[in-house]
Structures are given as structure tokens and as C-alpha cells.
Structure 1
Amino acid sequence: MATKKYTVTLPEELAEEIRSEVGSGNFSAYVTHAIERQREQDRLGELVVWMLEEGGPLTEAEKAAAEAERRENERWFAERAATEVQDQSATEPPGRQAAG
């Protein structure tokens, strides 16, 4: 991807906070990533508006199904994280296992 230099104005306190966290060499990469994420959010918002225009508001049954799926996903990720913690502690040398 080609790059081009731009001048932007940021609040000094915010810019210095970011620079202190990521270092001066990673500042542009951080800002680029932040802008990319904002663009994703903007596009998702546009998609939601389009979907509501096309299909109307969600029914109670659709909301309930989405909430059930969200809970199932949350459960799956929690179980996966717990398994990873168990796997990591199993590979630790004796006496160095993570406190549970």
C-alpha cells in the first residue's frame, strides 16, 4: 500500500499519551490502525441502516435468537480461555504452575 504524508491536528495531551505508550516510531502505525477501525465502524453503521431500511426493525423473536447466539458465543470463548489457561499451567515446570 502506498503511503503519503498528511498533516493532522490532535490534542497535544492525547498525542503525547499515545506516543509514550507506542513510541515515536509506531505513532503513525497506531493512528493508521485507529482510522481503519473507525472506517470499519462507519461501514457497520451504514450496513445497519441499510438492513433496517430493507427489512424493518427486528422482531422480538429475532432479538431473542440473537441474544441466545451471543450468550453461546460468550460461553464458547470463556471455555476456550479456561482450556488455554489449563494447558499453559500443565506445561509449567513443577513449582511454577499458575495460581488458580
Structure 2
Amino acid sequence: MSSLTQKYSITMPRDIAEQARSRSGPSGLSSYVAAAVARQLERDNLNDLIEALESHHGPITDEEIQQTRDELNRAREEQGTPGAVE
């Protein structure tokens, strides 16, 4: 994450803000919100990549998705990493 910061004013539902504040810990609400926005940007960028690849290669099939999940699960088992990809 960038070390340069700027102050912003945002509006969000109070219950969400209070839940975030209670989970933010010592780093504070600003860090918690910045991390959440960074994760959303990663998801948005991944969706952009998927759209670009599908426009070039066609839609991803359910079979391809399942094959990839199976490969990831096999790799996790080989590494002894818990948690299956569903």
C-alpha cells in the first residue's frame, strides 16, 4: 500500500461503520477501510482481466472452472495446505 496518504470524507451506513470500527483494532478505521478498498480494487481488476480474456477466447465453461478447482485442490493437498476450493 502507498505510504502517501490524503484525508477524505466518506459516507456509509452507521451500522457498517461501527462494525468496521469494532474490528479495526489498533491500526484504526482508516487502515481497515483502506484495506477493504484495496481488496475491492483487486477484485475489480481481476474481473476486468476475465472480461478481456473471455472477449478474446470465449466464455469460461463450468467444466473449465471445475477442472481448475480440482487442480488447485490437488496442489493444496500436495503442499499440505488446508481448505478446499469450492
State the TM-score, normalized to the length of structure 1.
0.65
> What is the rounded CA distance, in whole Å, between the counterparts of 2:40 and 2:66 in structure 1?
28
Structure of higher RCO (CA pairs closer than 8 Å, 6+ residues apart): 2
Structure 2: 5+ residue stretches without partners: none
Aligned-pair identity in percent equals 31
- Mark the CA change 1:75 to 1:12 in structure 2 (over 3 Å): closer, same or farther: same
Q: Trace 1:1-100 onto structure 2 (pairs within 5 A).
A: 1-23=3-25, 25-58=27-60, 62-63=64-65, 65-76=67-78, 79-81=80-82
Q: Give the alignment's Cα RMSD to 1 decimal.
A: 2.4
State the TM-score, normalized to the length of structure 2.
0.74
> What is the rounded CA distance, in whole Å, between the counterparts of 2:36 and 2:46 in structure 1?
15
Structure 1: 5+ residue stretches without partners: 82-100
The CA deviation at 1:23 is 3.8
